[in-house]
Amino acid sequence: MSEVKERPVPIHLSEDEVLNRLPERIGDVILNYRYYPGKDLYSDGTIEDEILAIVKDASKVEYPAIIERKKSWPVLYHLSPLRGNIVDWLPIGRKDKVLEIGSGCGAITEKLAEKAGTVTCVDLSAKRSHINAYRNHDKDNIEIHVGNFSDIEPSLPKDYDYICMIGAFEYGQSYIHTDTPYEDFFKIIKKHIKDKGRIIIAIENKLGLKYWAGCKEDHLGTWFSGLEGYPEGGSARTFTRKGLEKIFLSCGVTEYSFYYPYPDYKFPTMIFSDKRLPNQGELTDNMRNFDRDRLMLFNEKYVFDGIVEDGLFDIFSNSFLAVIGEKLDTSYVKYSNDRAVQYALRTEITDTKEGRVVRKIPLNERAWEHIKEMKRFYNLLEERYRGSGLCINPCELKAAASSETRERGYAEFPYEKGTSLETLLDQCLEKNDMDGFYRLFDRYYELIAYGEGKEITDYDMVFGNILADGDKWTVIDYEWTIEERVPAAEIAFRALYCYVLAEEKRNKLDLGLLMGRLGISEQTAGEYRMKEKRFQKQVTGKRKSMGELRDDIGNCCVSPMMLMELHKKEILNQRIQLYYDQGEGFKEEDSRYIPDIYLDDYKIAVEIPFDGNIRALRIDPADRSCMVKMMELSLNGSPVPLHKRYVETNGKAVKTGCYVFDTQDPNITVWVSALPMTGENILSVKMEITPVPSDMALDVMGAIKKFF
């Protein structure tokens, strides 16, 4: 990391001291303390010192390895390059002035500074602003104002092209202390945007599906608090889409668009819009509880499928990205920057004057070489499959749209209409139409096998990369083409392998039958699986996925159904079942449970009243193998002798009054008819019950048999 210049600023300063130390520079970044109150009013504690040390000592290329090593939510949140995806796709150019409110540790600042002419940041924390400055020290277009937004705002200019509030608008009531803080906050912000400028707000959806499914509310860390309307208060408020629209309209705003970052705005990998909403089966990455434990009340993928089918995604999207101002041409964005640097790119669906197109845009210079290969791959694949009936979506290399942006060139493809082969196969499985499934698969195999002898292969010809529009089948993504001769059976096996792995419901497929159709042995299939693992490591650069990082951080995901079963088992273990024999033996209908009889974890005490018509009482002390020590057994105050004439069990006596049971249905029968009874009787029982593993109980019973 290059040397940076810093003039240390004490954490607590008087006003004169602050004014005498303006401005401070860290590298090329300016920190402005004119409105700093002299101390940080909020902090995440020592973790901020840890992050500050990282950005001082490490370069950005080291961040992914540090994230994996630290296994820490704050380190992941503040340093992950995926954070910048939320603004990376916006058409911010070299001449644009950007205001970022709530810039924090600079994850978004970094991306804005790469794109814009100037970036003005506002943040309350000096510590976080230092982190921001160090991580972006090589940018000469950033100024950070440290202090309360309300104090700084009057000094800000009124000609910004973009104002970004990424995870900041929800704290409006902390900045503005009025009866309508969010409306007033928005009106203040609106004063600083130029004509045809845009305000960008990223915020959690109050009704986001993840909250219904059991994730804790992002700001309070409590379950269902947003859904319940924040009954316990708190500094932040999130909104539904209608709630945000109400604020915009009350402030005189009528031109705005909603985008839907998925899985959420913090680490978005896809961004949908009203012009391009998700398809069924597309929303599969739903385990988003990196920072806290969560419940799992249902499978979010299946619920999202129903929501998408019924056109309700704009209500239950986990996050919103509101663009206030002139509408954008881009309707969909997908990021592939969680893999090796040379393969990091952004895919967009964009409307142009000539029509809708798909663009693949490199996110760095090395990835541009990867993009340029796509044109050559198109030519080679088109030649291989010419005359087969399988179309290859044409690719054209384009220069950057404007010299005013910092974008590189990109690959452009026509936007193809149709239904993915993956969806068609799923529909067959849902209908249990296996003949239809095999017809589609056989056609797929026939098409991809065309020209099999040529040394050009699309290795990633999975079902999701083929669109069917009637009889026209088109390959829409051939990024992973190789100049090698690969058997069609291997490509088809890989497509099936990826297909089944992605969805539990597809396990109904008879893979043995399909492998037989492809002529693939189990040994060959094993070799193909190993090859797939090597391929994935190549693509990811051996970096861990977000799912793996979540597992490393170690927060729990708990099923309430499982908890309920455990609780139910605990309840069952804290009661006894009592049977009454009135001369016809023991029957379930003549039994009852007696709860709340435990004195502690092992000891029970109960008094059982019964009339003179009862022949015997049977006590079932547990629903598992156990040992029972009889501490008291008396009838009407007189001890019951512990021998077989009066007491029988289906266990074995270790010694008098101590029994071991290797059954899940232990029982003790007291023959009360053999004892002196009255009209109304009370059997008093005290016993100690100790659960033991069934194999241990069996061993003890075996030892008793040998001994006796």
> Residue 614 — φ and ψ, nearest 5°?
-85, 130
Half-sphere exposure of 698 (CA within 13 A, CB side): 5
Domain residue limits, the chain: 16-336, 419-552, 564-707
- Categorise residue 486: left if φ over 0, alpha if ψ from -120 to 50, beta otherwise: beta
Q: Is the pLDDT of residue 150 over 70?
A: yes
Q: Is the pLDDT of residue 7 over 70?
A: no
Q: Record the pTM.
A: 0.81
What's the CA gap between 383 and 456, in Å, rounded? Answer: 10
Q: What is the pLDDT of residues 497-533, one digit of tens each?
A: 999 988 888 988 888 889 888 999 999 999 999 999 9
Architecture of domain 419-552: Orthogonal Bundle (1.10)
Q: What is the pLDDT of residues 637-691, one digit of tens each?
A: 999 999 889 999 999 998 899 999 999 899 999 999 999 998 899 999 999 998 8
Q: Average the pLDDT over 433-443 and give the result.
A: 95
Residue reference for tokens 């699986």: 529
Name residue 396's beta-bridge partners.
412
The letter for the amino acid at 619 is I
Q: What is the pLDDT of residues 76-127, one digit of tens each?
A: 999 999 999 999 999 999 999 999 999 999 999 999 999 999 999 999 999 9
Q: How confident is the model at residue 9 (pLDDT cuts 50, 70, 90)?
A: very low
Architecture of domain 16-336: 3-Layer(aba) Sandwich (3.40)
Q: Average the pLDDT over 417-427 and give the result.
A: 95
**Residue 706 confidence (pLDDT):** 52
Q: Is the pLDDT of residue 306 over 50?
A: yes
**Residue 38 confidence (pLDDT):** 86
DSSP state letter for 449: T
Structure tokens at 583: 């001369």
**Residue 15 confidence (pLDDT):** 46
Q: What is the pLDDT of residues 354-382, one digit of tens each?
A: 999 999 999 999 999 999 999 999 999 99
Q: What is the pLDDT of residues 544-555, one digit of tens each?
A: 999 899 989 988
Average pLDDT, the chain: 91
Q: Average the pLDDT over 615-619 and give the result.
A: 95
Q: What is the pLDDT of residues 185-231, one digit of tens each?
A: 999 999 999 999 999 999 999 999 999 999 999 999 999 999 999 99
**Residue 45 confidence (pLDDT):** 83
Contact 123, 148 (CB under 8 A): no
Structure tokens at 329: 């041409």
DSSP state letter for 406: -
Structure tokens at 66: 């540090």
Q: What is the pLDDT of residues 445-479, one digit of tens each?
A: 999 999 999 999 999 999 999 999 999 999 999 99
Structure tokens at 96: 């644009």
Q: C-alpha angle 598/601/607, rounded to 5°? A: 15
What's the CA gap between 500 and 497, in Å, rounded? Answer: 5
Structure tokens at 252: 């005189």
Query: H or E element: which one contains 370?
Result: helix 365-385
